[in-house]
Amino acid sequence: MTRRASLAAIYAALVSILLARSLTRGAAAEQPIRILALGDSLTQGFGLPLGSDFPAQLERALKARGHDVAVINAGVSGDTSTGGLSRLDWSLADDPDAAIVEFGGNDALRGIAPDVTERNLDAMLEKLAARGVPALFAGMLAPRNMGPDFAARFDAIYPRLAEKHGVLFYPFFLDGVMFDPSLMQNDGTHANAAGVAEIVRRMLPLAEQLITRAKARR
């Protein structure tokens, strides 16, 4: 083979590689943005009719605003931050484009030391960052019957970690819902379907920012 023919073959091979990569990127860009909603019963939809859980309502709201998304319900009722961390790796096995992290309510109710909760949440956000998965971090507040010291230590976890990791931050998952009986189930802990709709409405601007970050990752 002459030197000119050899160079032509190399050039053709490079063009083929670049074209294949371009087609792969194009195909990826056409796929829905897949958002992993990782959390406890507040994410899973405890006590709610089918299709009225947080991931389902968020997906519908985002689609109504023109976003091609799929929100994956990875909520487990009763889960703590320890449980969430233990299942994070296999929850990421399908390579989601973004994640919403919602944990801590059960930690507080069980009186788990805030230091433990913080370590777990810190590790989750660390793992997501290492995988290049942008996150929306949803905060929680401790029940006030746990005492002022516990509440102060617990509540401070979320803004501290949000700042450390530079993630999108929604300070309190039940904001605007928790103290409105018309938006809560009878247990006073979980939002009803209307309450979930209010959570989605309030969180929607951050969810759209999350999509923007996910698209930039592609």
Catalytic residues: 41, 187, 190
Please check whether residue 106 is in contact with residue 71, taking contact to mean a CB–CB distance below 8 angstroms: no
Sign for the pseudo-dihedral over CA of 206, 44, 216, 164: positive
Give me the DSSP letters along 67-124.
--EEEEEEE-TT--HHHHHHTHHHHTTT--SEEEEE--HHHHHTT--HHHHHHHHHHH
What's the alpha-carbon Rg for the chain, to the nearest Å? 21
d(CA 204, CA 3): 59
**Which H or E element spans position 33?**
strand 33-39
Q: What are phi and psi of 73, to 5 degrees?
A: -80, 100
